[in-house]
Amino acid sequence: MQQYLEAGKVVTTHGVRGEMKLELWCDGVDFLKKTGRLYASAKGGKCYNITSIRPQGQMALLQLEGVNDMDAARALRGQVFYFDRSDATLPEGRWYVADLIGCEVRDADTGKVYGVVTSVDHPGAQDIYTVKSPSGREYMFPGVDAFLKERNPPEGYILVTPIPGLLDDDFDSEREEE
């Protein structure tokens, strides 16, 4: 599992005192406040202490230690920042999206392998998992308890109980027979 995970990307400056607008790629402002610092690369790199962060719509206004004017903030435009997973604590049973990507998706009852998770999106009330089957076809399913029975990234798998047609072509085959 990756040690440094994406927190967001600086999209522009804000004001003249070094604040930046950060496009959030994590759980939000409160989550980043708890981490307390950000890193300049996926391998760690330069560490910046967060001196302030607050929400602004879907973004965050971020102030980093040592970034005290517009020029310093402008130099970081386009910068992707990372947090160290050891600086954050997730509730029991929750996982980072980066940990779920690549997990094998198996049927909880039969053990059938449907494919691997290629993305997890957050368009609304629940996460949407995209699974690529061994044949290369992609399927999506909602990350809700009715389908998702177990997530175990350390072991590399997710157990699901899908309805016909959710992760395979069974439903389409039944319709063709009618």
CATH fold of 97-160 reads SH3 type barrels. (2.30.30)
Q: What are the CA-CA distances from residue 103 to residues 100, 113, 149 (Å)?
A: 6, 11, 14
Tens digit of pLDDT per residue, the chain (178 long)? 889 999 999 999 999 999 999 999 888 899 999 999 999 999 998 999 999 999 998 899 999 999 999 999 999 999 999 999 999 988 888 899 999 999 999 999 999 999 999 999 887 778 899 999 999 999 998 888 889 999 999 999 999 998 877 777 654 444 344 4
**Where do the structural domains in the chain lie, given as residue ranges?**
4-87, 97-160
- Per the DSSP assignment, residues forming a β-bridge with 59 are 23, 56
Global pTM? 0.78
Q: Specify whether domain 4-87 bears CATH 2.40.110.10.
A: no
Q: How high is the pLDDT of residue 169? A: 65
Picking from 101, 55, 109, 46, the residue whose alpha carbon sits closest to that of residue 79 is 46
Residue with tokens 């909602």: 142
User: What is the distance between the alpha carbons of residues 174 and 142, in angstroms, rounded to a whole number?
Assistant: 22
